[in-house]
Amino acid sequence: MKLMQLQALAIYWNKLTSGSASRKIFGAAITVGLCTALVKLAAMAKELVIAWRFGTSDEVDAFLIAMVFSSLVINIIAESLAPAFIPVYIKVIEREGKRSAQKLLEGVSISSLILLLVATILMVAIAPLCLPFVASGFDSDKLQLTFYLLCAIAPFTFLTGISVIWRAVLNARERFSLASLSPIMIPLTTIVLLFVAKSWGMFALAGGLVFGTIFILIILAIPLLRQNVSLLPKWNGLDKNLHLIVVQYFPIAAGSLLICSTAPVDQTMAAMLPAGSVAALNYGHRLISSFVSLVSTAISAAVIPYFSKMIARQNWQEVNRTLRQYMRAIFLVTVPLALLFIIFSKPLVQLVFQRGSFTAEDTLIVSQIQSLYAIKIPFYLGDLLLLRVISTMSKNHILSWVSAFNLLVNIVLNYIFMQWIGVKGIALSTSCVYVFSFLILGVFVSRQLKKYEQI
């Protein structure tokens, strides 16, 4: 009986998520969302263990500043590649076949690996020069610990770049579940090391990143090899398809550089404030980022393949209709959730973090930061949807201009609000930036779609 019910449920789900692009995007988003939810639950468990072990100590500040450098490299080189790569990869599969797609993947792999290796080496080499400026409020011992942690997570930076490309290939082939679930290995590995390797201290977190990413690569390699996808990088020359990716990649990378600069700027300015401010800012953003990351991962994975196909077929009316449907859905769902985060911020922080080294005083400041970060939720997700549509339209040049504007506004508002309400002002500044960005990108996309529909 149960088997028949499961079969009926599977048939219903197949009907619900097949047919129109909207239904397919919905099915992919739900699949990715559920898998990502499991990853976020594991990540939250990891954060609870970290909060219990280290609270808002100097070690946490040092690790977070070290991660700023790593995250910057990953986002600029690896994460920026996916929006440029997937639309071209899908178009090549549909128009030129799998052999041409394999050739394109080989070229992208070797190019990205070289960039990642050079960037990782440069990251470690220039860190001693940059750290005194990035973490100006740290003493010499804390700066030294930050540098050692940066060196320990350097392999993670390189390996993550490879995993991003492999996950992009799986998403392009509409194999969403494994690509979305594989990152769970990092928090699980980290939790194990935090309990098993207690003598490592904060370096257990670095070990969790490195070993967890190795497990991810193993998990991703298996289905790709079964689909006869060669994972060996190979240079086949700069053909038209690879050239198109390069042309689209650099505006995205420039935009990512500016967007990702927001976090280092925020943490650098927080480091100028009293000790523990960087950690408090991180904890205040943790629950918000877990939620928005869950939804944004689902949107990113689902939107790019299907919007790429609609745009390749120049079906602009369907693009416009689908975009409006999902934008309405985002605001209808996330505005009430943002209000709940604001209203119940303090009890939520108490429930999740207040134990061990995390005190009631920490709870008060972190809950206030969290409330101000919650304002950005609907605008952040709306921004993300618009950015993905812009990428599939190959209009990535706009990202550089908008990102430069966002960075400038963020720095100015950080400074103004910090004078007013301290570290909480950084969270308020971030939310304001996403509101401005959403308005600018919304106007641009609306005008572009009207223009294309009239052709």
Question: Mind listing the pLDDT tens digit for each residue in 26-79?
Answer: 666 677 667 777 887 888 788 788 877 777 667 777 887 888 778 777 877 777
Return the ∠ at Cα 26 (arms to 20 and 30), rounded to 5°.
150
Average the pLDDT over each of 22-31, 212-221, 392-401 and give the range with the smallest value.
22-31
DSSP H helical segments within 74-202, as ranges? Answer: 81-96, 98-134, 140-152, 154-172, 176-181, 185-196
Average the pLDDT over each of 146-155, 178-187, 264-273 and give the range with the smallest value.
264-273
- What would the mean pLDDT of 271-294 be, rounded to a whole number? 76
Query: In the chain, how many domains are there?
Result: 1
Do the domain assignments include residue 4? no
Burial (0-12, 13-18, 19+ Cβ within 10 Å), 441 = buried
pLDDT in tens, 189-202: 988 888 887 778 77
Do the domain assignments include residue 6? no
- Under a CB-based contact definition with an 8 Å cutoff, are residues 217 and 166 in contact? yes
Do the domain assignments include residue 103? yes
Compute CA distances 168 → 19, 111, 249, 318, 401, whole Å: 23, 15, 14, 24, 26
Do the domain assignments include residue 10? no
Do the domain assignments include residue 316? yes
| For residue 274, pLDDT beyond 80 | no
Do the domain assignments include residue 153? yes
**Residue 21's pLDDT band (cuts 50, 70, 90):** low
Q: What is the pTM of this model?
A: 0.63
Helix axes 424-454, 277-312, angle to 10 degrees: 10
Residue-range definition of the domain harbouring residue 430: 21-454
| For residue 290, pLDDT beyond 50 | yes
Mean pLDDT of the chain: 78
Do the domain assignments include residue 11? no
| For residue 267, pLDDT beyond 50 | yes
Do the domain assignments include residue 2? no
One-letter amino acid at 384 equals L
Q: How many residues are recorded in the chain?
A: 455
